[in-house]
Amino acid sequence: MVSSGLKYLFVGLLFFSLSAQCALVDKELYIISDSLETVHGSKMPYITFNDSDVFTAYNPVIELQQGDSLRLWVFNQDSIAHEFQIINIMTSAVSIPSMDSVYVPLLFSNVGNFIYHDPLQFPKNTFLGLGGMIVVKDHAHDSFYWNIKEHDEQWSNILVNNGTVNWSNYQPEYFTINANSNPNINMDTTARIVGNVGDTLMLYIANTGQSIHSMHFHGYHGTVMYSSKNSAHHGWEKDTYAIYPMETVIIRIVPDKEGEYPVHDHNLVAVTGNNLYPNGMFTTILIAP
């Protein structure tokens, strides 16, 4: 009797320790069609996932701890049907008719950075804005999030009206981090890397665009902790990261000195907005003593 009592106590403790770490996380996303205002004040059609039924140009980051169960509802408030899929997590897409919703319960057992998006007529709906990230962590370090992407006003208008474009001749004109170009990126506290010497800073990047974006850090090297496309890159220490379309990475930076240093896309057209420098993917990293 004593030994079986101990066994139940042990099982009870094990269950308690697991349930203390793994949370149930409820989240709602709303698909809303509106427009993206560029750094120069022009507007183009844009569709995003939103935290509420109010449109923003920014697809929210869903933040989880390793082992969490996500209970996700996706509401389609657009006038046309959409789809939903999480790359490397859901093996197939679910469709969501206009003004309907889907419920997606998922367990996230592994750390990583995952793109959720609308894969319908890919890359059309993702290009039009429907792509965000889910990050799964096993740490409590300061974290920063970059949803990097490029845009073309003429193409967005063609695609939203069911026209066709030639993806082999793609010359986008705007380049954004979390839907902002320089100088507005610097106002986004989720994007702009700020810390102190010796901190461990974690940067989660998702390329939801259709171009390669080669992000160059001046002043600091970081370590690749995760890449969804190139697991061979794990552990590499670098200052430039070529991030492929629909790739996600996690980079760890431990600053060794104070200072303010530029971070930008090494593809020079991507530091412009409608050909104007430096209104593209350009920000700074700010490290205090």
Pick 117 or 264: Cβ nearer Cu ion: 264
Burial 185-223 (b: 16+ CB within 10 A, else e): beebeebbbebeeebebbbbbbbbbbbebbbebebbebe
Minimum distance from residue 219 beta carbon to Cu ion (Å): 10
Pick 216 or 233: Cβ nearer Cu ion: 216
238 touches Cu ion by CB under 5 A: no
Minimum distance from residue 218 beta carbon to Cu ion (Å): 6
Minimum distance from residue 126 beta carbon to Cu ion (Å): 27
Pick 78 or 150: Cβ nearer Cu ion: 150
Minimum distance from residue 111 beta carbon to Cu ion (Å): 29
Minimum distance from residue 233 beta carbon to Cu ion (Å): 19
Minimum distance from residue 183 beta carbon to Cu ion (Å): 17
Q: Which of 224, 211, 230, 208 is nearest to 268 (CA)?
A: 211
Site track 163-202 with Cu ion (rule: CB under 5 A), x = hit: ----------------------------------------
| Residue number of the CB atom closest to Cu ion | 216
Pick 32 or 249: Cβ nearer Cu ion: 249
Site track 196-235 with Cu ion (rule: CB under 5 A), x = hit: --------------------x-------------------
| Window 44-63: residues binding Cu ion (CB under 5 A) | none
DSSP string, the chain: -HHHHHHHHHHHHHHHHHHHH--EEEEEEEEEEEEEE-TTS-EEEEEEEESSSS--SSPPPEEEETT-EEEEEEEE-SSS-EEEEETTT-SS-EEE-TT-EEEEEEE--S-EEEEEE--TTTTHHHHTT-EEEEEEES--SEEEEEEEEEE-HHHHHHHHTT----GGG----EEEETTB-TTGGGG-TTTS-EEETT--EEEEEEE-SSS-EEEEESS--EEEEEESS-GGGTT-EESEEEE-TT-EEEEEE---S-EEEEEEESSGGGG-BTTBTTSSSEEEEEEE-
Minimum distance from residue 266 beta carbon to Cu ion (Å): 6
Pick 68 or 265: Cβ nearer Cu ion: 265
Pick 149 or 264: Cβ nearer Cu ion: 264
Minimum distance from residue 278 beta carbon to Cu ion (Å): 12
Count of Cβ atoms closer than 10 Å to residue 91 Cβ: 7
Angle at 127 between CA 145 and CA 163, to 5 degrees: 170
* Count of residues that bind Cu ion according to CB under 5 A: 1
Pick 110 or 240: Cβ nearer Cu ion: 240
Site track 119-158 with Cu ion (rule: CB under 5 A), x = hit: ----------------------------------------
Pick 216 or 252: Cβ nearer Cu ion: 216
- The residues of the shown chain that bind Cu ion, judged by CB under 5 A, are 216
